Amino acid sequence: MSAVAELIAYAKSPDPFRTAPDHLAELQLEAARERFAERRQQIKVLDKRAREMGVDQIESLEDLVPLLFAHTNYKSYPEAFVDNGQWKHMNMWLGTLSTYPTGNIDVNGVENVDDWIDRCHEAGHYLFASSGTSGKSSFLNQTVQDREYAVAACLHAFTFSAPDYVPDHSRVVFTQMPPKGTHKMTEVSTLHFSRWARPGELYRMTDEPMLATDTMRPAQLRRLLAAGKVGPSEIAAYEDEVAERQRRRAAALEAWIDKIYEKRHEPLYIGMMWGPAWNVVQRLRDKGVKDGDFHPQTLMSIGGGTKGAKLPPDYKEQITGFFGLTPDRITGSYAMVEMSGFCAKIQPTESYAVPPWIVPLVLDKSGEKLLNPAAGKGEVEGRMAFFDILADGRWGGIISGDKVRVEFGSRLEGVNVPVVHEVNRYMDLEEGEDKLTCAGSIDSYVRGSIAA
């Protein structure tokens, strides 16, 4: 069995974090070597980057650093392709970052980006979109294998993070995730919460699908208006559409909060992000709900959602205190859309176990120097990057915008993988974010490849 296959198999293990082998570091290096040899034949921009950086093969983890893509590279498509409906060009762009050819994607009759994503899926490219809070979504390609293993890995991570509780269809479940959408978490969320919900008692904040068009359309209209390609009447029509959608969602949110109020003394499982959770806490307080006025076995899955949110410094303490949660009843995780699976919360700590198929690469802030301890044990702080061995539809090397503190060889609570102790977004810190050199380089390769 190859090193890649051995590590990928852990994605379907009930506990990949404690059962990871003692020679994990050596196995990961060999898997990275195998992946690079395969992927450079499939992804031209990776091959070009490797040739320019003088990397012929992976001899050490340091060799991966100049080959990492920035998370922003997956939104490097020219906006004109979407604005002008140039979907064949979007196929070409996607192909520059994918392991398998995208020429089989039929774009006849495609009218918007969500239609294009649907056609990608029909062609076997299980594309998903980021939330697009900047007004421009990232698009990452997945294969059937990616979906099969990554979803299983996510479900096992949820279970690992709350070992004293089992999904037995015994709870009233509230989730902010809709049943369908272009974000990868819609599928995971549906499968996960369905395992816990009583028949007929899975309540969603909204049933409207999460679409890439919804987040991208405002910025697109601003560009088209500036270019004289749309008029005031089209802008007004869109504003009316948005207002109606907001009205529907506001009404759905009120009904959802009313249902939480009604069911709060029953065993609940609530799935939310921090930002929306703070809003829900405020609304329930307005209804007279006091801190801790919930069933004592209430569970919560919570994380993310702080970007752009106005939250008090102690928002986490206030939210968990309001729902009367103890740490063992919070199924937290650390992850990002570019990562297959989750770094699962380790009970009873506030740390996260990195899956064995994810190779954490802690870099300096500029993203150019590897800080991982040479002896394989110790704690380091820096920019989070990683190599995702499971990723099949794209190159697995990614540099993130997160500042992390990672410990190698800790054996915390029996976990046999590296552990993330602390996470912050650089953009939220006083030191701020820096532009990554690699991002511009990869983008230039992508532009050159499309032009060619």
Which token pair is 398?
């990614």
Which token pair is 61?
């983890």
- Evaluate whether 332 touches 301 at the Cβ level (below 8 Å): yes
Dihedral over Cα of 441, 399, 140, 10: its sign: positive
Among 157, 159, 170, 176, smallest CA distance to 298 is for: 170
User: Using CA atoms, how far apart are residues 295 and 262, in angstroms rounded to an integer?
Assistant: 12
Compute φ and ψ for 386, nearest 5 degrees.
-160, 160
Q: What is the pLDDT of residues 262-282, one digit of tens each?
A: 999 999 999 998 999 999 999
pLDDT at 436: 75
Sequence-separated (6 or more) residues with CB below 8 Å from residue 49: 66, 67, 441, 442, 445
- The pLDDT > 70 percentage for the chain reads 98
Q: Report, as an integer, the average pLDDT of 36-47.
A: 96
Q: What is the pLDDT of residues 75-89, one digit of tens each?
A: 999 988 998 999 999
pLDDT at 77: 92
Domain boundaries, the chain: 3-73+337-451, 162-331
Q: What is the pLDDT of residues 387-426, one digit of tens each?
A: 999 999 999 999 999 999 999 999 999 999 999 999 988 8
pLDDT at 132: 63
pLDDT at 441: 79
Kindly tell me if the per-residue pLDDT of 438 is higher than 80: no
Which token pair is 300?
């919560």
The larger pLDDT score, comparing residue 211 to residue 21, is at: 21
Q: What is the pLDDT of residues 57-66, one digit of tens each?
A: 999 999 999 9
Q: What is the pLDDT of residues 146-177, one digit of tens each?
A: 999 999 999 999 999 999 999 999 999 999 99
The angle, 0 to 180 degrees and rounded to 10, between the axes of the packed helices 274-286 and 232-263 is 60
Radius of gyration of the CA atoms of the chain, in A: 22
pLDDT at 134: 65
- Evaluate whether 381 touches 405 at the Cβ level (below 8 Å): yes
Taking all residues of the chain, what is their mean pLDDT, rounded to a whole number?
A: 92
Confidence of residue 133 (pLDDT cuts 50, 70, 90): low
User: Using CA atoms, how far apart are residues 116 and 213, in angstroms rounded to an integer?
Assistant: 11
